[in-house]
Amino acid sequence: MACERHVCKGVLFVFAIVIVTTLDVLCQKCNHWHRRPFTPGKEIPLYIGAMFSSVEESTHIGAVESNLRPAIDIALADINNHPCVLRGYNLTLINKDTQCKPSMGMKSFFDMMNEERKKLAIFGGACTRTNELVAMAANFWHKVQLSYAENHPMFSSRDSKDMYQTFYRIVPGHRDQLQARIRFLHHFNWTKVGAIVQNDDSRHSLHMEAFTTAIERKHGVAILATHGFSSTKMNIKEGLKHLKAKDARIIIGEFNVSLAAAVFCEAYSQKLYGPEYVWIIPGYHQDYWWLSKNDQIPCSRFQLRKALEGHFALRFTVIRSDTTKIWSDKTATEYDAEYRAKCKPPHCQYSKYHGYVYDGLWTIAQAAENLITTMMMRGKHFNPEQDLLDSDRNVMGAWKLALMEAIDSLEFEGVTGKVRFYQNERLGRIRIVRFQNQSYTAVGEYDGAEDRFTLFGQRIIWQNGSPPADAIQEVIIRRYVDYSVFYIMCSLVAICIMLAIALLTVNIYFRNHKFIKMSSPNVNNLIILGSIMTYCSVILLGIDTNMVSELDYSRMCTAKVWILCFGFTLAFGSMFAKTWRVHSIFNDIHLHKKAIKDYKLFLIVGVLLLIDVLILSTWLIIDPMQMAVKQLPTEKDERSNLLIKPTIEYCKTDYTVVFQALLYGYKGIFLVLGCFLAWETRNVNVPALNDSKYIGMSVYNVVLVCGVGVAISFILQDQINECYIIISMFIIFCTTITLALVFVPKIVELMQNHRDPTIHYPRAMMRSLYVINKNRMLNKDIREQILRQEKEKRILKRRLSAVRRETLAVLKYSAKLGTRVQQVDDNSKRETVMMHASQDDRPYGGVYVGPTDEKPQISSCEELFSHRESQSPGHLFITKLPPTVAVVDQPESPSLSIKSKQDEPASFACPSGENCDKESKTGRCCCGGEEQEQEHQQQQQQCQMVKLPRRSVTPSMSEPDHRRSMSSIAYSSFHSLMFLSEQMNRRKRGGNDGNNDDGENLIPADRQRKSQSPQASSSYSFENQIATVLKRNNDNSKNPLTSFRSANVR
């Protein structure tokens, strides 16, 4: 039994402890409600004056009483049923409709003040015009007013503490909006913004003024431009043009929802949208406000949606999104579901203010509870009907201050967030939403009570993948050669240097080998040494201040110029010297056997190196190289909206152009001469000069690559990586190809004859050089003689054609006159009958040309034609025949008649022994019948006859003188014709053969000149002979009696 008693006592003790602990917790939570006397069913009414409106204002859509009545009912029920709040009191609202009119609002306020039911506070209203007047009047009645929807910035101005001393608002106001925007700008490092504001609405103009002042003075954000517009003038276009001119990328907008569509339509027209721009505007709590029909804007819905894409809006939080439980032991989500269940269309529309109505009533209840608890702790009992009487203003003033202190000290969790006040304003939550994919998405939130900014970055979909910059930012970037490129080039250079060292080793080791020794191994060593230096210059070209200091870089500038110049001079200069040796031997004018030793080649290379040293030393002394930074053209990064100003390092001197011109000019002449020598010796293939062909190919390679490389280096000098790659590859390629052309044939020869290093290469092969040179010079002289003779031949043809035309005219006229001309050659004293022309009764005539002592015996037509074929083919119109032969043409054309000196009738015997009568009626040979006649006719047609048509000539002088003159002209013309024809024949037969048998074909003056001076005659040119003949012809035509005499004039 004793044990059972002890167990019962223990259980009772534990139960008592639990009860005490629970009561203590309840006491702490309910502010000692258990001490307050309370009689169930006899609660004391606690009246609150409510000012709701049955009319909706455009700036407070959804604030009408019908939309807020479910929230009021839920709040009053939760408050009056709560065991810890206003226990023994019943919170009651007395509503007055203000209709959003200042007059009705003041009337409602006065009615509430004059009623017997005294009001602890005033709850409402929503319209700014009503709240402004009521707030000023409530201060004089010592009444505290708490608005559930007012967010006008004038209640947070400097004068608000005096004018609206007792005015509170549960909805987040101007201060939270301002802080949310500033924190949002700081998050993205936007320090340059532009602003556009609606000036004719103080709700927006005051807020923008406070915002711009705060960010410029306290937060270091620059305002690039601020432009205002009015709803009446709609001067939005000018404002956006001003912002665009200032290059504002982050634009803060403050305007009503009714003007938002017009603003964004103009932004679309001026292209102030897209990934480079960010708009931040007030939140209108209407997700599809932009779909409202507006005939005043010219944009379509598609264009408006495109302009709105990506903009941000800041609006107060309607319902908190977390699961924190509030005083009524429910979550915000549970309350929102309860509100939606009671708010059924069409009598009730979901309102953005219902949560603030609920928290506002709880704020008044919590403040009243604190006030009542405080009085009870002082030993006083709160009786509204007595304590709230306004007969004693001092008492009312004390109640007012006590209630305000209670509100200021409140801090509890509500459905809209933690409820906390600072300077009569609620420190609430501001939600940041972004318009993307045609709807608003919550991307961040600012909690004013906790001063905490949260951004849901994963929800933001940037069009360029990253936030845009607030302006085009200028970033200076120093560009260097990429390490990967530099290391690759260094690896290639290292391989090439090892290859060159291997070639140098082979060249030195086999220097006594006959094949190597004949190619001047010492000069080849210079080629390899120069190649190694050019390889080393590739490494120096890639070094920058990313690897060495600026002082060392300046030294590198000088080193890489010297090494590259010396390497080029050693390598190319050695090849140039060897090519010059081949050219000098091959082009020896006197064809002497010459030997050019290696020391002469070294002397050439030494002179070239001396020129390099003089130029580079002068450059180093007068103007040493220093490191400089070059600004390249600015580049724009579209994705990050940056202006990149790249810079590169380079070596700078004041006289760079002068010394580069000297080096390039000297090297250029050097290359041109080398190319010329290589071309001149392109056909040389002599064993003793076994590498001359490959040296020439190397020279071509160096000239081509150097020319292209220098040009590209100037073009790509600003592209540091590309320029370094191309120049380095050119140097490596050119140098490697040169080494391969010079030494690979030697390596091949050594591999083929490595067992017999003293193999003999015949020296007699050098004689072929002499033969080649001699034949080349002879061929050159022959070609020149052929060209000169062809030119003379063309001149003779032109002059011969002129003489022929003149001769035909003379023959025609002389044939009519019938003149016989003869001349005695003074040198040979031989009489030569030059022409005998006759005119008889028949319309036929004849001409004889030729010397009298040349009378070949021709007895038939066959002998005539055979004699004709044996003559030179230069006489086109004149047939050279003896004077005893007569040629008779067909009767229908004029003919030439050949007569002797005795004027005997010309005739010849036919093959059959019959005589051919000249006076035959047919004018043909009458021998042997018809067949022989046809055969003779064919033979006679082959004779080249001069056809002389009959023409009446009226001489201008007497007939004897005229005949004498024409005879002289005929003689001169025929003499010139014969001379020119003879010379043409000799040219065709192969030129002058050294005989003197052509003297009788020359004119007398020429014979006399030849006989008097044989040496002068040999040098006497054919052109001078032609000129003499033509001149004499002209003189004879003027005075025919000076050189000729006439005889036997008929």
Considering only residues 761 and 657, tell me which one the structure prediction assigns the higher pLDDT.
657
| Average confidence (pLDDT) over 853-859 | 44
pTM: 0.54
Q: Residue 837 carries which DSSP code?
A: -
Whether the CA torsion 375, 379, 385, 391 is positive or negative: it is: negative
- Classify residue 12: in a domain, yes or no: no
> Which two three-digit tokens encode residue 611?
């020129």
Query: Has residue 196 got a pLDDT over 90?
Result: yes
pLDDT at 1019: 38
- Classify residue 766: in a domain, yes or no: no
pLDDT at 923: 41
Gap between the Cα atoms of 1018 and 1009, Å rounded: 10
Residues 300 and 205 in one domain: yes
User: Where do we find the tokens 């993948």?
Assistant: 465
Residues 6+ apart with CB under 8 A from 430: 172, 176, 177, 179, 180, 314, 315, 316, 317, 445, 446, 448
Query: Has residue 756 got a pLDDT over 90?
Result: no
Of 931, 949, 967, the last residue of a domain is 949
- Classify residue 441: in a domain, yes or no: yes
Residues 906 and 885 in one domain: yes
Query: Has residue 338 got a pLDDT over 90?
Result: yes
| Average confidence (pLDDT) over 677-703 | 67
Cα-Cα end-to-end distance for the chain: 205
- Classify residue 637: in a domain, yes or no: no
Range scoring the smallest mean pLDDT among 298-312, 469-483, 1005-1019? 1005-1019
- Residue 10 binned pLDDT confidence (cut-offs 50, 70, 90): low
Range scoring the smallest mean pLDDT among 260-264, 500-504, 781-785? 781-785
Residues 600 and 708 in one domain: yes
Query: Has residue 977 got a pLDDT over 60?
Result: no
Specify the length of the chain in residues.
1050
Q: Between 656-680 and 550-586, two packed helices, what is the crossing angle to 10 degrees?
A: 30
- Residue 674 binned pLDDT confidence (cut-offs 50, 70, 90): confident
Range scoring the smallest mean pLDDT among 262-266, 824-828, 855-859? 824-828
CA atoms within 13 A on the CB side of 242: 16
pLDDT at 521: 84
Number of domains in the chain: 5
Gap between the Cα atoms of 635 and 72, Å rounded: 62
pLDDT at 468: 85
**Best CA proximity match to 508, nearest among 746, 179, 716, 736:** 746
pLDDT tens for each residue of 220-277: 888 999 988 888 888 888 989 999 998 899 999 999 888 899 999 999 999 999 888 9
The domain of 223 spans 176-316+433-471
The dihedral formed by the CA atoms of 809, 812, 816 and 820, expressed in degrees to the nearest 10? 80
| Average confidence (pLDDT) over 925-939 | 48
Determine the residue type at 982: E
- Residue 839 binned pLDDT confidence (cut-offs 50, 70, 90): very low
Query: Has residue 896 got a pLDDT over 60?
Result: no
Residues 416 and 462 in one domain: no
- Residue 183 binned pLDDT confidence (cut-offs 50, 70, 90): very high
Q: Between 354-377 and 332-342, two packed helices, what is the crossing angle to 10 degrees?
A: 120
* Residues facing residue 931 across a β-bridge: none
pLDDT tens for each residue of 108-133: 999 988 888 888 899 988 888 898 99
H or E element that contains 476? strand 473-478
Residues 859 and 986 in one domain: no
Query: Has residue 556 got a pLDDT over 70?
Result: yes
Q: Is-cis flag, bond preceding 37, omega within 30? A: no
Give the number of other CB atoms < 10 A from CB of residue 483.
11
pLDDT at 1036: 46
Query: Has residue 339 got a pLDDT over 80?
Result: yes
Query: Has residue 464 got a pLDDT over 60?
Result: yes
Of 761, 783, 806, the last residue of a domain is 761
pLDDT at 820: 42
Range scoring the smallest mean pLDDT among 303-307, 495-499, 549-553, 982-986? 982-986
| Average confidence (pLDDT) over 1024-1034 | 48
| Average confidence (pLDDT) over 923-939 | 47
Considering only residues 62 and 20, tell me which one the structure prediction assigns the higher pLDDT.
62
Give the number of other CB atoms < 10 A from CB of residue 533.
21
Considering only residues 699 and 478, tell me which one the structure prediction assigns the higher pLDDT.
478
Range scoring the smallest mean pLDDT among 248-262, 712-726, 1006-1020? 1006-1020
Out of 491-505, 539-553, 834-848, 973-987, the most confident range is 491-505
**Best CA proximity match to 197, nearest among 231, 232, 237, 229:** 229
- Classify residue 289: in a domain, yes or no: yes
- Residue 218 binned pLDDT confidence (cut-offs 50, 70, 90): confident
pLDDT at 62: 67
**CATH number of the structural domain spanning residue 362:** 3.40.50.2300
Mind giving me the DSSP string for 282-334?
E--S-TTGGGS--TT----HHHHHHHHTT-EEEEE-SS--S--B-TTS-BHHH
| Average confidence (pLDDT) over 390-409 | 77
Determine the residue type at 1018: S
Q: Are 575 and 706 in contact (CB under 8 A)?
A: no
pLDDT at 536: 92
User: Where do we find the tokens 């004719």?
Assistant: 200
Mind giving me the DSSP string for 341-389?
HH--TTT----TTHHHHHHHHHHHHHHHHHHHHHHHHTT----HHHHT-
pLDDT at 854: 43
Query: Has residue 812 got a pLDDT over 90?
Result: no
Query: Has residue 512 got a pLDDT over 60?
Result: yes
**In a 3-state reduction of DSSP, which class is residue 412?**
strand
* Residues facing residue 720 across a β-bridge: none
**Best CA proximity match to 745, nearest among 945, 563, 515:** 515
Considering only residues 160 and 608, tell me which one the structure prediction assigns the higher pLDDT.
608
Give the number of other CB atoms < 10 A from CB of residue 919.
7
Range scoring the smallest mean pLDDT among 88-97, 369-378, 643-652, 706-715? 706-715
Percent share of the chain, pLDDT over 90 = 18
Query: Has residue 846 got a pLDDT over 70?
Result: no
- Classify residue 775: in a domain, yes or no: no
pLDDT at 65: 84
- Residue 874 binned pLDDT confidence (cut-offs 50, 70, 90): very low
Out of 188-197, 638-647, 803-812, 887-896, the most confident range is 188-197
Residues 56 and 112 in one domain: yes
pLDDT at 155: 87
pLDDT at 37: 57
- Classify residue 644: in a domain, yes or no: no
Query: Has residue 432 got a pLDDT over 90?
Result: yes
Query: Has residue 301 got a pLDDT over 80?
Result: yes
Q: Are 363 and 419 in contact (CB under 8 A)?
A: yes
Range scoring the smallest mean pLDDT among 494-503, 506-515, 607-616? 506-515
Gap between the Cα atoms of 564 and 535, Å rounded: 9
> Which two three-digit tokens encode residue 536?
């080393």
Residues 803 and 723 in one domain: no
Residues 1003 and 937 in one domain: no
| Average confidence (pLDDT) over 138-148 | 89
Residues 6+ apart with CB under 8 A from 534: 563, 564, 567, 568, 571, 731, 735
pLDDT at 200: 87
Considering only residues 696 and 712, tell me which one the structure prediction assigns the higher pLDDT.
712
* Residues facing residue 598 across a β-bridge: none
> Which two three-digit tokens encode residue 886?
């007569």
User: Where do we find the tokens 């702490």?
Assistant: 28
| Average confidence (pLDDT) over 5-15 | 51
pLDDT at 689: 56
pLDDT tens for each residue of 476-495: 888 888 889 999 999 999 99
Query: Has residue 748 got a pLDDT over 60?
Result: yes
Range scoring the smallest mean pLDDT among 58-62, 402-406, 519-523, 1014-1018? 1014-1018
- Classify residue 791: in a domain, yes or no: no
pLDDT at 41: 62
Residues 202 and 342 in one domain: no
Determine the residue type at 204: H
Out of 354-363, 762-771, 1030-1039, the most confident range is 354-363
Percent share of the chain, pLDDT over 70 = 66
Query: Has residue 905 got a pLDDT over 50?
Result: no
Query: Has residue 974 got a pLDDT over 70?
Result: no
Query: Has residue 630 got a pLDDT over 60?
Result: yes
Residues 662 and 582 in one domain: yes
pLDDT at 883: 38
Give the number of other CB atoms < 10 A from CB of residue 505.
11
Q: Are 653 and 624 in contact (CB under 8 A)?
A: yes
Residues 57 and 98 in one domain: yes
Out of 470-484, 891-905, 958-972, 982-996, the most confident range is 470-484
pLDDT at 754: 59
Residues 311 and 448 in one domain: yes
**Best CA proximity match to 207, nearest among 265, 167, 252:** 252
| Average confidence (pLDDT) over 836-843 | 37
Average pLDDT taken over every residue of the chain = 73
Range scoring the smallest mean pLDDT among 16-20, 459-463, 774-778? 16-20
Which residue pairs from 763-770 have beta carbons closer than 8 angstroms and sit at least 24 positions apart in sequence? 763/688, 765/686, 765/687, 765/688, 766/593, 766/686, 766/688, 768/686, 769/585, 769/586, 769/686, 770/591
